[in-house]
């Protein structure tokens, strides 16, 4: 997997979420994503950035323009050193019926991207990697 470009953006306030949305738009446009794909990726990033801020207590996101030989893609890695997620399975299963905001962003974002990986340790933090291919 070749990484052509990368950038780290901090997630410390709600205006960072807006900034990240704009950045994803920029990167996705450069990678020539279709409008729908762009919208999906930006929305997923917004959800995950908000999760990082509100449940992770703040963190950062790594932007990477990647290529696997035939296709180009955008990979975002959200990381925080927050409380972590005790039951990932459940967090991913919960739809919008729960009041617990955590489930909403995760399960939804998973459907908006092509690849979704999550690792979390209680007391240590959470790391989520999402990828969208052109």
Partner 1 sequence: MERIPILRMGNFLLVTIQVDMHDKLAMTLQDDLTKAIADFDSRGVLIDISTLEIVDSFIGRMLANIAAMSRVLDAETVLVGMQPAVAITLVELGMSLPGVRTALNVESGMELLQESVGSFHMSMNDGSAET
Summarize as ranges the residues that interact with partner 1 (CB under 8 A): 14-15, 17-18, 21-22, 35-36, 38-40, 42-43, 46-47, 50, 95-96, 104-105, 107-109, 111-112
Q: Provide, rounded to whole angstroms, the least separation between the CB of residue 19 and partner 1.
A: 9
Q: Provide, rounded to whole angstroms, the least separation between the CB of residue 16 and partner 1.
A: 9
Both structure tokens of 56 = 């992770």
Distance CA 98, CA 85 (A): 16
Q: For residue 49, which of 91, 2, 11, 4 has the smallest C-alpha distance? A: 11
Q: Which is nearer to partner 1, 39 or 72 (CB)?
A: 39
User: What are the phi and psi torsion angles at 35 (to 5°)?
Assistant: -60, -45
Q: Which is nearer to partner 1, 14 or 68 (CB)?
A: 14
Q: Which is nearer to partner 1, 46 or 67 (CB)?
A: 46
**Residue found by looking up tokens 């901090």 in the block:** 10
């Amino acid at each position: 997997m070749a990484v052509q470009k990368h950038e780290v953006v901090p997630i410390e306030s709600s205006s960072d979420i807006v900034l990240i949305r704009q950045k994803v738009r920029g990167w996705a446009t450069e990678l020539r994503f279709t409008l729908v794909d762009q919208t999906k990726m930006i929305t997923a990033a917004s959800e995950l950035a908000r999760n990082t801020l509100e449940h992770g207590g703040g963190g950062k996101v790594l932007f990477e323009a990647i290529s696997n030989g035939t296709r180009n893609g955008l990979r975002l890695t959200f990381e925080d050193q927050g409380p972590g997620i005790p039951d990932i399975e459940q967090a991913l299963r919960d739809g919008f019926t729960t009041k617990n905001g955590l489930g909403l962003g995760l399960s939804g974002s998973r459907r908006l991207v092509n690849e979704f990986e999550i690792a979390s340790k209680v007391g240590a933090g959470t790391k989520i990697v999402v990828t969208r291919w052109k």
